[in-house]
Structure 1
Amino acid sequence: MHVDDLRWFVVLAEAEHLTAAAAALGTSQPNLSRSLRRVEAAFGVSLFEREHRGLRLNPYGRIVLEAAQAGTAAVDTARQRIDTLVDPDSGTVRLAFLHSVATGVVPDLLKAFRAVAPTIRFALREQASHDIVQDLSAGESELAITGPRPDPAVFGWHLLQRQRLCLYVPPGHALAGRQRINLAEAAAEPFIGLRPDFGFRRLTDELCQAAGFTPSVAFESTDLTTIDRLVGAGLGVAVLPGGAVRGTESGATPVPLAGVRARRDIGLSWRLRGTLSPAAERFRAFVEAQPAHPGE
């Protein structure tokens, strides 16, 4: 039994006449009769009482009619939703991104893309890097803006930015006027950072270890803006990507860190063996056409 058999059954049940129902469906009476037999065989009972002037639903038929109407309506809704998703002009892009790019890279890209594709929607997920990789692997997200680059054997990658990392210091701090500093110079400072399960926090810890010290963490947060404001309030210093926090007047001053390791790559990633929806493919092509920002 096919879903179209249920559709034909609904028409027949409403018409209660084989000839009239066949004409309404644009098919022959034998075709409609075979379709009805398939439905009755699937349920193991007769669904109509045959009368001189036509057909009349029996109690079994009324039960099947109710289910068939609900089922075909659900199938139609699913088809409409899928048609919307696969439409390159009005589909939905499932995009994950790092917390640390939420105020800069992501809104910039989405604003530029919406200028050329205003009817495409986004289902956004703001996550830590390890969760992003898991979601890409599972197909929960189609695309991700993340860093560092995930396994190149599994995931595609397009570089968006090579960000210079900075030490953010409070207003008037002794290091605020420097052109560059070595992170070791801040070894005695209290640090404000992301929680340990965030990829950028691990990067910060690795930089501190390479500089010869373990940071004294005064406070941990999940939000870069909060970290920036706490630095501005004088509670400590923080390692953040330059320009990662916008629209704040905290007074925190970014001082670029010296050394080639004091950078991180941010890029668009996707699963190599997966198939992107047309809308997601269109967004990826748009992003790949944008020039990368190499940083300082």
Structure 2
Amino acid sequence: MELRVLRLFREVAEGATVTDTATRASVTQPALSRALKRLEHEVGAELFQRSGRALRLTPAGRAFKQHADAVLENYDLGVRAVGELVDPETGVVTLAFLHTLGTWLVPPVLSGFRRRYPRVRFELRQHGEAGLTAELLDGTADLVLTSGDPGDTRITWQRLLVQPLRVAVPPSHRLAKRRQVRLAELAGEPFILLRKGYGLRDTTEALCAQAGFSPIVGFEGDEVETLRGLVTAGLGVALLPLPHTAMFPPSPAEHPAPHLRVSDVVCARDIGIAWPSGRELPPVSESFRQHVLATAPRALPED
């Protein structure tokens, strides 16, 4: 059984036609059909059934594909590991990160690493916390940058820094002239929140509970800067990290939302890096992990 045939099988199994697959592989359609038939003979079962002009996986085909995917993934990881051992200053770092870290933490740690290792490439993905955990457990990411320990024994997490959170209020708000507030003073106010599944949403609800109330949901969004803009527009208040003004400068006509310190509750969140427990990272990813541990604490915006 050849790896090349497994790759062709996977392509057809994922919906490509035999004609298109053969064209991309620079083989004739009859040659590809014969290769798939030989694969079925080796496996001892029909892997495809025809549905019109398309091929669909049989139950045996679906079962076989799971193992074929694992074989190809392990082979590609092995080739990658050997290549990085031969030249550890090249390779690919697969990194997933929390949406809210993409505006201030991820850019400087990536650019600093690329200055040292310009031939290294990155495969980047953004998620909420649940998606980040899945990336690690599925093996599609070597490292993730997230808030808080995932609390899974299959994942190792290390704190990088503690990020302060502030209460953002509209410029015309009754508390806007203050430098600090008690979070309890905002009970009854509409809160602009991230959707369920984001760590900052859970943190906000937990901190409000410590202050003795549940936040009234005024709006739910997917991006911190969207929430900040809606606060500025007067639609509610929010518990947010400090803005990175170098990346998101206010327009001349804009009066940005004041960000007030909180005096009755410790408002902050942990930011950390995580990787799969018990699995040795590829050399280039391990180098990047060490780089992040050394440089991330300096990435916080000034208070």
TM interval, short-chain normalised: 0.5 to 0.7
Offset at residue 274 of structure 1 (A): 1.5
Q: Give the whole-Å Cα distance in 2 for the aligned partners of 1:112 and 1:266.
A: 19
Deviation at 1:198, TM superposition (A): 1.4
Q: Which residue of 1 aligns with 2:224?
A: 224
Identity of aligned residues (%): 37
Return the match for 1:285 from 283, 286, 290. Answer: 290
Residue of structure 2 aligned with 1:255, choices 247, 251, 260: 260
Pairwise CA RMSD of aligned residues? 3.2
Cα distance in 2 for residues equivalent to 1:96 and 1:216:
31
TM-score with structure 1 setting the length? 0.68
Query: Given the alignment of the two structures, is residue 194 of structure 1 paired with residue 186 of structure 2, yes or no?
Result: no
Give yes or no for contact 2:230–2:236 (8 Å, CA) kept in 1.
Answer: yes
Q: 1: CA distance between counterparts of 2:275 and 2:78?
A: 26
Deviation for aligned residue 1:244? 5.8
Written as runs of structure 1 = structure 2, the 5 A alignment for 1:106-145 is: 106-145=106-145
- Are the equivalent residues in 2 in contact too, given 1:101–1:244 (CA < 8 A)? no
Q: Distance in 2 between matches of 1:228 and 1:99?
A: 14
Alignment coverage as a number of residue pairs: 230
Write the deviation string for residues 69-111 of structure 1: whole angstroms up to 9, x where unpaired.
xxxxx9xx96997366665322111111111111111112112
**Runs of 4+ residues over 3 Å off in structure 1:** 77-87, 243-246, 293-296
Question: Alpha carbons of 1:88 and 1:177: their partners in 2 closer, same or farther (altered >3 Å)?
Answer: farther
Q: Structure 1, unaligned stretches of length 5 or more?
A: 4-61, 68-73
Secondary structure, aligned partner of 2:263: coil
For structure 2, list consecutive stretches of 5 or more residues without a partner in the other structure: 4-29, 36-71
Tell me: CA distance 1:192–1:2, structure 2 relative to 1, closer, same or farther (3 Å): closer
- 1:103 aligned counterpart, secondary structure: coil
* 131-140 vs 173-182, greater mean Cα deviation: 173-182
Q: Where do residues 153-168 of structure 1 align in structure 2 (5 Å cutoff)?
A: 153-168=153-168
Q: 1:169 to 1:80 in 2, by over 3 A?
A: same
Deviation at 1:273, TM superposition (A): 1.1
**Given that residues 109 and 291 in structure 2 are in contact (C-alpha distance below 8 angstroms), is that contact kept between their aligned partners in structure 1?**
no
Which moved further from structure 2: 149-158 or 91-100?
149-158
1:178 aligns with 2:183: no
Query: What does residue 274 of structure 2 align with?
Result: 269
Give the superposition deviation at 1:158. 3.1
Contact 2:90–2:120, Cα closer than 8 Å, also in 1? yes
Query: How far has the Cα of 1:179 moved from its partner?
Result: 2.8
Matches of residues 226-241 of structure 1 in structure 2 within 5 Å?
226-241=226-241
Give the aligned partner of residue 65 of structure 2: none
Aligned pair in 2 of structure 1 residues 259, 147: CA closer, same or farther (>3 Å)?
farther
Larger radius of gyration: 1
Deviates more, 1:147-156 or 1:176-185: 147-156
1:253–1:138 CA distance, 2 compared to 1 (3 A): same
Do the aligned residues in 1 keep the contact of 2:182 with 2:265 (CA within 8 Å)? no
CA distance in 1, matches of 2:194, 2:244: 13
Are the aligned partners of 2:97 and 2:127 in contact in 1 as well (CA < 8 Å)? Answer: yes
Structure-2 separation of matches of 1:63 and 1:202: 56
Is the contact made by 2:191 and 2:219 (CA closer than 8 Å) also made in structure 1? yes
Matches of residues 33-48 of structure 1 in structure 2 within 5 Å? none
CA deviations 1:37-79 (Å, max 9, x no partner) are xxxxxxxxxxxxxxxxxxxxxxxxx969x96xxxxxx9xx969
Aligned counterparts of 1:212 and 1:2: Cα–Cα separation in 2: 64
- Match for residue 91 of structure 1? 91
Distance of 2:164 and 2:155 partners within structure 1: 24
Residue 105 to residue 291, structure 1, CA distance change in 2 (3 Å) = closer
Residue type at the aligned position of 2:289: R
Contact 1:159 1:292 (8 Å CA) reproduced: no
Distance 1:260 1:89, change over 3 A: farther
